[in-house]
Homo-oligomer: A and B are copies of this chain.
Amino acid sequence: MQSRQNQPDESKREFLQSSLILAAISFGYLVLDGCSSLSYSTIAKEQTMNTEGNERFTRGWDKLKEIDGEAGEKVIESLKNIAPDLGRYTIEYPFGDIYSRQGLDLKSREIATVAALTSMGNAAPQLKVHINAALNVGCTPEEIVEIIIQMSVYAGFPAALNAASAAKIVFVERGIINV
């Protein structure tokens, strides 16, 4: 996780720039693609706005990288040509507003999030991101497994079993367990 902390701060600036460049580039591609592409491309360009000088965005982006690491960046990246403003809101509200709040430490916040996503049972990709995030902010693998086991009580065994499968994938990816 430390290596993530040290990621050059340029990645943020790069994102901010690429958000602006994106439209130009994709415009180039899409202009050949006909009318509907062009219009959606233009709209997508207009969505990616207001990030320079936006304190919530800057704070959120730093927090996102601290907590979610690369996985979080990939989520935002994947939204660029479909719903860049959803990416911006994901940075601003959850990370710029909520995870930046005082009153609850980051480890407790990730315990809450892993519990919620396990229980809701319909957000497998996000659960994996937050099992990673929980490890990033100091949860042990054992604690994550305890949360998941506990959710069998509140959301039933299928929810817990599926979350255990998600944890297995993350733990293998991070070398915590072998396959």
CA distance A174 to B37 in the complex (A): 9
Question: CB within 8 Å of B: which of A123-179?
Answer: 123, 125-126, 140-143, 145-162, 164-165, 167-168, 171, 174-178
Contacts of A81 in B (CB 8 A): 168, 177-178
Any B CB within 8 A of the CB of A75: yes
Choice from B82, B89, B116, B140 contacting A119 with Cβ under 8 Å: B116
- For A152, A156, A157, A164, the residue with the greatest tally of chain B CB atoms inside 10 Å of its CB is A156
Q: Is there an interface contact between A157 and B94, defined as CB atoms closer than 8 Å? A: yes
Contacts of A116 in B (CB 8 A): 115-116, 118-119, 151, 154-155
> Looking at chain A, what size class is its interface with the partner chain?
35 or more
Q: Is there an interface contact between A83 and B177, defined as CB atoms closer than 8 Å? A: no
**Min C-beta distance of A87 to chain B, whole Å:** 9
Question: CB within 8 Å of B: which of A71-130?
Answer: 75, 78-79, 81-83, 85-86, 89-90, 93-94, 97-99, 101, 103-104, 108-109, 111-123, 125-126
Can you show 16 pairs from A to B with CB atoms below 8 A apart?
A: A37-B176, A40-B140, A79-B161, A93-B93, A93-B157, A112-B147, A113-B115, A115-B115, A115-B116, A120-B120, A122-B162, A123-B156, A123-B158, A126-B157, A126-B161, A155-B155
